[in-house]
Homo-oligomer: A and B are copies of this chain.
Amino acid sequence: MKGVICQQTDAKLVDVAHDFPRQDIRTCAFWLREILPYFPPAVHLVVVDPGVGTDRAAIVIRAGDHALVGPDNGVLIPAARTLADDDFDVFEIPEQHSGDTEATTAALDTVSEWPPNPSSSTFHGRDVFAPAAARVHEDGIYSFEAESGFEPLDTFEDLRFPEPTIRQDGASGTVLAVDGFGNVITNIPGSVIRDQDQASATVNGVSTPIGEMYAAVDSGDRLVTVGSHGNVECAVNQGRGDDAFGLEAGDSVELSL
């Protein structure tokens, strides 16, 4: 993918992550929503694509001053909503539909053709998304659709994270993701534990200290804290919260104060 991009543009390449959980659309959608708003305007290329080769569309989203390139499976949508205050445009990436593909050789021959020829049915990251990302970068985020034949797409695969229920004395939420340290990231806003006086909360029935930082408790001890994303995290200081709390993405979290 980097080779294809370097063939077509001198754009600066920035690696965001190569170790997201494979084919886990929801977790990747969460991280993209958290990470991409910190970037200056850019073309963001995303390949989390379990449906590669099916009739799912390949899309470019213009969201504010950013462009997102990837599969139409929802992975780009939460980031697009955050980047553009819900006001984003979706375009389909045009493709050549020649019936006869000869894989590697053909791909190499057509790497600078447009529209791209998806020589493989298993790696559109290289064959479709990378050429499109280079194209959007060269044409410009505000005018690529006219320059290179992208067509507006009215419907797209949506993805919304579950909403928590906030109560006077706590919240019912869901685990959105577990990070590389094992911290369990919920969808419960940090204000639920930050804006009150108690020193502990009950998490799925177990009393747990509330801390402002991981080191608020001893090494190896559990706590709830507000993570860098602004949500409640179930964590262990210098340990793995997912193991200690027995929680993984999608699980329910009952938080009582």
Residues of A within 8 A of B (CB): 2-4, 6-7, 13-16, 22-23, 34-40, 42, 50-54, 102-105, 107-108, 111, 119-123, 126-127, 180-181, 190, 212-216, 225-231, 233, 237-238
> Complex Cα distance A215/B105, Å?
24
Check B228 against A103 for contact (C-beta < 8 Å). Answer: yes
Check A181 against B22 for contact (C-beta < 8 Å). Answer: yes
Known interface pairs A2-B14, A53-B215, A54-B213; A226-B120 also in contact (CB < 8 Å) = yes
Copies in the complex: 3
A242 to chain B, nearest CB (A): 14
Check B14 against A6 for contact (C-beta < 8 Å). Answer: yes
A127 CB contacts on chain B under 8 angstroms: 228
> Complex Cα distance A159/B213, Å?
24
> Complex Cα distance A125/B78, Å?
24
Check A122 against B233 for contact (C-beta < 8 Å). Answer: yes
In terms of DSSP, what is the predominant structure of the interface of chain A? loop
> Complex Cα distance A122/B108, Å?
37
Known interface pairs A213-B53, A215-B53, A229-B103; A38-B121 also in contact (CB < 8 Å) = no
Q: Identify 17 new A-B residue pairs, CB closer than 8 A, beyond the known A3-B35, A123-B228.
A: A2-B15, A2-B39, A3-B38, A3-B39, A37-B108, A50-B237, A50-B238, A51-B215, A52-B214, A52-B215, A103-B190, A103-B231, A104-B228, A107-B228, A120-B226, A121-B212, A122-B214
Q: 8 A-B residue contacts at CB 8 Å?
A: A2-B15, A3-B39, A53-B213, A104-B230, A120-B226, A120-B227, A122-B228, A127-B228
Check B126 against A38 for contact (C-beta < 8 Å). Answer: yes
Check B213 against A3 for contact (C-beta < 8 Å). Answer: no
A120 CB contacts on chain B under 8 angstroms: 226-228, 230
A34 to chain B, nearest CB (A): 7
A215 CB contacts on chain B under 8 angstroms: 50-54
Check B104 against A229 for contact (C-beta < 8 Å). Answer: yes
A233 CB contacts on chain B under 8 angstroms: 122
A221 to chain B, nearest CB (A): 13
Residue in contact with A7 in the complex, picked from B7, B38, B53, B103, CB distance below 8 Å: B38
